[in-house]
């Protein structure tokens, strides 16, 4: 057994030591030995367990009344299993002998004071602290893993301007529920703590990323004092007479990021203050991992649908809001309308923010990730969404403005997938950027670093820089399905659209017109579109870009062709970048089985839009319901669609992130 520390014995006077119950103390039986002694034996109080540590190849355990030899490197380790009632009330006696049959030459005495000093947290991930459970110092992933979890205290339980993590004083007892409990055991004779102190400590880097509150019970906020945090990394514990346990609450102050793995450690030390130079008696430590920010894919049930009320040269978007209301009602989902006063006529609410959540065994709550785009909606998440049990996080770009790719229409997440032998039970984050090893636009490093650091949804970077706006939601979406697979990946497909139009031409509908039903848009026949060499060339280029992403998605998400549905869609090039020729149908809002799809205004054949009919035929057999909504004037003409102009908060995963193995 490994020893915790050594205590030297003396023949001239008894030795005294403090030990922690359950912790080994090495007794040095060799430093002061009577002349002529060849063997020894050890005895002690019933509350003290005595262990002899030796090499069986060099010495055998003595039989009967025989003693241990002094020349065989036998170590003596003692462990107290009961807290002392008084100072020095436990005894260990070492007797030395010249031979097996003679009386003892001398005795050494050791008087022990046993205390219970332990720092305990929820290592078992049950939501409750259990004393002495598991390995407290190491944090392990997986269903059989262990280690405590911290939530970033990024909600706002009391009305104010900032998240609770900025407060060094407790402002609400409800805030304690966002923190992880920690218990310091400090049982022992009160007289011992007159000459010994307990010191709670974090490293300087860790102290900037956590806060620790000491709880003295009661309902008064003054009973809860922050003792560790950015301003102080060490705290001498105020133990009251007779006190056996002291309750603490620990909060996270920072999410994992490029310079922070998410692991944080705290220690408590028992220090003897009597010598001129203080002596460390014992240290216990615990390790937490800060819970990551987790995105939810379209396959998770919707809870709230957000949309903005705006006015422009076409008037107000009241009809669009009405359509969203009907869709939300069908999906049994709450509609939240952001008024013009709060959005400052910025309609792109998907670009402004992304809903996710954080989860710990004792608590979970939604957290909105505010993008660095900072346009009209820049204050909405902080001022209107942040609140009790609704957190907020953001990343700002230093020394430069945000690009279009920093908007969160360029941020998506797949449903759970398996890639070979690797499971991604929370899916994988998808972001758009430039073509590998080429110059071009990318999402800002500060945002990419944050997403990668969360670990549990390993990001995949796709190629979206070929688009004018440059967002992944312009060419892909995921929808839930009622079959065993559980979802499909939808990809925009110029080839599928041209093939559909060719079929309609061959059926005799070549003069049916795209944009039929739109007043302020030039109508173009199927024949005209198929004969347009520029449009066909642009479509071929776009198809190559999407096909490149298709292969990446198949490889990184473990998909087969049967998991992908090609949605007919045409694009045209404006300069070097592509834009949707008609409303981009994959840029839809997904509310369970109900899909709010941009109305494409395709050629009318037998009284029905052939594009809508094609999409219905592809998706409705999968258990989905297609609802086509006119977004042409208020969204499509401004290079966005329904997904860009809406946002959905979804139900968190039932799967707990700590059971994964990144």
Write the secondary structure of 53-76 as one string of H (helix), E (strand) and C (coil): ECCCCCCCCCCCCCCEECCCCCEE
- Do residues 408 and 353 make contact, with C-beta atoms less than 8 angstroms apart? yes
What is the residue whose two structure tokens read 């997440």?
413
In the DSSP assignment, the letter for residue 433 is E
Biggest CA–CA distance in the chain, Å, is: 120
* 14, 19, 24, 27 alpha-carbon torsion, rounded to 10°: -10
369: β partners = 354, 393
| Contact between residue 564 and residue 619 where contact means Cβ atoms under 8 Å apart | no
3-state SS class at 94: strand
HEC readout, 125-185: CCCCCCCCCCCCCCCCCCCCCCCEEECECCCCCCCCCCCHHHCCECCCHHHHHHCEEEEEE
Closest by CA position to 333, among listed 34, 648, 106, 551: 648
- The CA distance from 152 to 165, in Å, is 7
Q: Are strands 90-97 and 104-120 parallel, antiparallel or unpaired?
A: antiparallel
Question: Vertex 431, ends 588 and 538: CA angle to 5°?
Answer: 65
What gap in Å lies between CA 200 and CA 265, rounded to an integer?
11
User: Which runs of consecutive H residues, i.e. helices, occur in 187-316?
Assistant: 204-207
Long-range contacts of residues 542-545, Cβ cutoff 8 Å, at least 24 apart: 542/466, 542/494, 542/571, 542/573, 542/578, 543/493, 543/494, 543/495, 545/463, 545/466, 545/475, 545/578
In whole angstroms, give the CA distance from residue 95 to residue 106.
6
Residues recognised as catalytic: 351, 471, 473, 644
DSSP, collapsed to helix, strand or coil, labels residue 190 as coil
Tokens of 14: 């008894």
| Helix axes of 494-504 and 533-557: crossing angle, nearest 10 degrees | 130
Q: Who contacts 103 (Cβ-Cβ below 8 Å, separation ≥6)? A: 97
Q: Both tokens of residue 498? A: 């041209």
d(CA 464, CA 432): 5
Pairing mode, strands 589-591 and 210-215: unpaired
DSSP assignment string, 400-413? SPPPGGGSGGGEEE
Residues 6+ apart with CB under 8 A from 394: 369, 370, 371, 372, 381, 382
Give the integer Cα–Cα distance in Å for 200 and 589: 50
């Amino acid at each position: 057994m490994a020893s915790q520390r050594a205590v030297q014995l003396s023949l001239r006077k008894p030795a005294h030591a403090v030990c922690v119950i359950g912790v080994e103390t090495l007794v040095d039986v060799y430093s002061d030995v009577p002349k002529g002694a060849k063997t020894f034996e050890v005895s002690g109080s019933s509350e003290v367990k005595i262990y002899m540590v030796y090499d069986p190849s060099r010495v055998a355990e003595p039989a009967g009344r025989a003693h241990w030899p002094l020349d065989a490197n036998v170590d003596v380790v003692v462990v107290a299993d009961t807290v002392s009632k008084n100072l020095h009330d436990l005894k260990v006696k070492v007797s030395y002998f010249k031979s097996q049959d003679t009386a003892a030459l001398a005795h050494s005495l050791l008087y022990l004071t046993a205390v219970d000093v332990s720092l305990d947290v929820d290592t078992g991930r049950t939501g409750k602290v259990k004393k002495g459970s598991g390995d407290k110092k190491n944090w392990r992933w997986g269903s059989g893993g262990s280690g405590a979890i911290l939530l970033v205290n990024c909600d706002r339980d009391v009305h104010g301007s900032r998240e609770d993590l900025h407060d060094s004083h407790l402002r609400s007892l409800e805030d304690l529920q966002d923190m992880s409990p920690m218990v310091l055991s400090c049982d022992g004779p009160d007289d011992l703590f007159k000459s010994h102190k307990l010191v709670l400590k974090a490293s300087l880097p860790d102290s900037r990323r956590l806060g620790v509150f000491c709880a003295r019970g009661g309902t008064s906020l003054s009973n809860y004092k922050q003792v560790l945090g950015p301003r102080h990394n060490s705290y001498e514990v105020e133990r009251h007479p007779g006190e056996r346990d002291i309750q603490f609450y620990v909060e996270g102050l920072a999410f994992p990021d490029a310079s922070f793995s998410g692991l944080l450690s705290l220690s408590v030390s028992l220090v003897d203050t009597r010598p001129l130079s203080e002596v460390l008696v014992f240290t216990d430590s615990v390790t937490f991992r800060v819970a990551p920010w987790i995105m939810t894919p379209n396959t998770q049930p919707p809870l709230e649908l957000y949309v903005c009320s705006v006015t422009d040269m076409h008037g107000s978007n009241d009809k669009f809001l009405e359509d969203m209301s009907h869709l939300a009602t069908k999906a049994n989902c709450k509609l939240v309308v952001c008024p013009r006063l709060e959005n400052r006529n910025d309609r792109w609410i998907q670009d402004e923010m992304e809903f996710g959540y954080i989860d710990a065994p004792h608590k979970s709550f939604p957290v909105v990730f505010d993008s660095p785009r900072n346009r009209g909606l820049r204050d909405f998440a902080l001022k209107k969404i942040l609140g009790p049990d609704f957190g907020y996080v953001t990343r700002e770009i230093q020394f430069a403005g945000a690009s279009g790719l920093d908007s969160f229409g360029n941020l998506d997440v797949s449903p759970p997938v398996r890639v070979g032998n690797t499971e991604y039970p929370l899916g994988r984050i998808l972001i758009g950027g430039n073509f590998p090893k080429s110059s071009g636009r990318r999402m800002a490093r500060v945002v990419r670093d944050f997403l990668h650091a969360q670990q549990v949804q390993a990001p995949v970077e796709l190629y979206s820089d070929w688009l004018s706006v440059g967002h992944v939601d312009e060419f892909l979406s995921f929808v839930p399905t009622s079959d065993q697979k559980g979802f499909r990946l939808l990809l925009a497909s110029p080839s599928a659209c041209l093939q559909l139009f060719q079929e309609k031409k061959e059926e005799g509908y070549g003069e049916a017109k795209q944009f039929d039903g739109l007043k302020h848009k030039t109508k173009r026949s199927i024949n005209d579109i198929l004969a347009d060499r520029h449009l066909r060339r642009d479509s071929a280029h776009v198809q190559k870009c999407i096909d490149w992403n298709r292969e990446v998605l198949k490889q990184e998400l473990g998909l087969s062709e049967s998991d992908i549905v090609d949605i007919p869609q045409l694009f045209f090039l404006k300069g070097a970048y592509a834009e949707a020729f008609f409303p981009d149908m994959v840029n839809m809002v997904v509310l369970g089985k109900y899909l709010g799809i941009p109305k494409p205004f395709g050629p009318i054949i037998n009284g029905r839009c052939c594009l809508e009919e094609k999409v219905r035929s592809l998706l409705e057999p999968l258990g989905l319901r297609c609802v086509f909504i006119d977004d042409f004037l208020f969204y499509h003409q401004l290079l966005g669609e329904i997904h860009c102009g809406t946002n959905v908060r979804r139900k968190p995963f039932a799967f707990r992130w700590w059971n994964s193995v990144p």
